[in-house]
C-alpha cells in the first residue's frame, strides 16, 4: 500500500468521524430537549438521564400547558407565536424591499464613495446593541411607539438593512453584466431587467438573506424586553420563554416544551429552504 492510498483512507476515516461528531453535538441537545418536553415531570425526576423511553411514557400535556391561553391557566404561547411571526415576517418584507434595490445600486451603479458606503453599512455592527437601547427607549417613548409591535419592527429593520445590503451586494456582483446588457438591447428597462433577469438569478441569495433576517427577528430578546415588557399581550415568544425560565413554579418539562416551540419554526424553515440557503451562502464568495 503506497503512501497516497494510506493518507486517503486515513483522512477519509477522520472525515467520517468528524461528521458523525458534529452531527451528534448538533442533534443530541435538540433530541434531549424534545425528550424532556414529552416526559412527565415525575418520570424525569426519577431518571433524568434516560435517553430512550417507550411511547406509553410520552405525553403532550406540557405542550397543551404552553400553548393554552393565560386565561385558561396556560402560558399563552400560541398568541406569542403569532406576535413573533407578525414581527418577523414584517421585518423580512420591509428589509428586503429596501435592501434589494439598495444592494443592486451599490453593486451596479458607479458613484463617488461607493466603496466607503459598503464599509459604512458594516460599521453599524461596531456598536453594541446595548449602546442604542437607552436612546431608542427615550425616542420611542416620546413618539408613543413603546409597547407596540410596530416600533419593534422599526428597530429590527434598522438592524437588518445594513447587513442585508452588504450580503446581497456581494451576490449581485457575481451576476454577469452581459446578461443585463442583453436585456437592455432587447428593449427592457432597468426595472424590467431587475425583475426578469436579476431577481430570478439572485433568488438563492435572497432566500438565504430572508431566513437570516427572520432568525434575527424571531430570536431577538433585548429590544423586545425593552419595548414590550409592560404589555404582555404584545410579547414575543422569546419573552415568554424568558418568563418560563425564571418561574419557580414552572416545571422544567414545560420549559423544554416552550424551548421546542421557539426552536421548531426556525428548524422547519431551514430544512424547507435548505437547498436555496446553501446556494445563497456559497455563491458570490469569490467576489466582494
Tell me: pLDDT of 285 over 50.
no
Rounded distance between C-alpha atoms, residue 281 and residue 287, angstroms: 13
Tell me: pLDDT of 288 over 50.
no
pLDDT category at 242 given cuts 50, 70, 90 is confident
Higher local confidence (pLDDT), 248 or 70: 70
Measured at the alpha carbon of residue 222, what is the angle toward residues 218 and 226, in degrees to the nearest 5? 115
Q: What pTM did the predictor assign? A: 0.82
Contact 227, 151 (CB under 8 A): yes
Q: What percent of the chain clears pLDDT 90, i.e. is strictly above it? A: 15
Q: What percent of the chain clears pLDDT 70, i.e. is strictly above it? A: 89
pLDDT digits (tens, 9 = 90+) for 1-27: 667 777 778 888 888 899 999 888 888
Contact 121, 165 (CB under 8 A): yes
Closest alpha carbon to 96 in 152, 161, 155, 159: 161
How far is C-alpha 201 from the geometric centre of its chain's CA atoms? Answer: 23
Tell me: pLDDT of 147 over 90.
no
Residue owning grid cell 458534529: 22
pLDDT digits (tens, 9 = 90+) for 260-272: 988 888 888 888 7
**If one looks up domain 71-283 in CATH, what number appears?**
1.10.3720.10
pLDDT digits (tens, 9 = 90+) for 161-191: 988 888 888 888 888 888 888 888 888 888 8
Mean model confidence pLDDT for the chain: 83
> What are the backbone dihedrals phi and psi of residue 206, each rounded to the nearest 5 degrees, phi first?
-65, -40
Q: Where are the domains of the chain?
A: 3-58, 71-283
Tell me: pLDDT of 287 over 50.
no
How far is C-alpha 95 from the geometric centre of its chain's CA atoms? Answer: 13
User: What number is the average pLDDT over the span 29-54?
Assistant: 85
Amino acid at each position: 500500500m503506497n503512501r497516497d492510498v494510506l493518507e486517503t483512507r486515513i483522512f477519509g476515516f477522520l472525515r467520517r468521524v468528524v461528521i458523525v461528531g458534529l452531527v451528534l453535538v448538533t442533534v443530541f441537545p435538540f433530541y434531549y430537549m424534545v425528550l424532556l418536553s414529552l416526559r412527565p415531570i415525575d418520570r424525569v425526576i426519577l431518571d433524568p438521564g434516560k435517553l430512550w423511553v417507550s411511547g406509553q411514557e410520552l405525553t403532550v400535556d406540557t405542550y397543551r400547558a404552553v400553548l393554552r391561553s393565560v386565561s385558561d391557566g396556560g402560558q399563552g404561547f400560541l398568541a406569542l407565536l403569532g406576535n413573533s411571526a407578525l414581527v418577523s415576517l414584517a421585518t423580512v418584507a420591509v428589509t428586503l424591499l429596501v435592501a434589494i434595490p439598495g444592494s443592486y445600486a451599490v453593486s451596479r451603479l458607479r458613484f463617488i464613495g461607493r466603496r466607503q458606503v459598503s464599509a459604512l453599512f458594516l460599521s453599524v455592527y461596531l456598536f453594541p446593541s446595548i449602546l442604542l437601547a437607552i436612546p431608542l427607549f427615550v425616542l420611542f417613548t416620546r413618539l408613543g411607539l413603546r409597547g407596540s409591535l410596530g416600533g419593534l419592527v422599526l428597530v429590527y429593520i434598522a438592524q437588518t438593512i445594513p447587513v442585508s445590503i452588504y450580503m446581497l451586494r456581494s451576490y449581485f456582483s457575481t451576476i454577469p453584466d452581459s446578461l443585463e446588457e442583453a436585456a437592455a438591447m432587447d428593449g427592457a428597462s432597468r426595472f424590467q431587467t431587475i425583475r426578469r433577469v436579476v431577481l430570478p438569478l439572485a433568488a438563492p441569495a435572497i432566500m438565504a438573506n430572508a431566513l437570516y433576517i427572520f432568525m434575527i427577528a424571531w430570536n431577538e430578546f433585548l429590544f423586545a424586553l425593552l419595548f414590550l415588557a409592560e404589555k404582555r399581550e404584545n410579547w414575543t415568544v422569546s419573552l415568554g420563554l424568558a418568563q418560563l425560565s425564571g418561574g419557580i413554579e414552572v416545571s422544567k418539562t414545560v420549559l423544554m416544551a416552550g424551548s421546542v416551540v421557539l426552536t421548531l419554526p426556525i428548524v422547519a424553515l431551514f430544512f424547507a429552504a435548505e437547498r436555496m440557503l446553501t446556494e445563497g451562502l456559497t455563491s458570490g464568495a469569490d467576489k466582494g
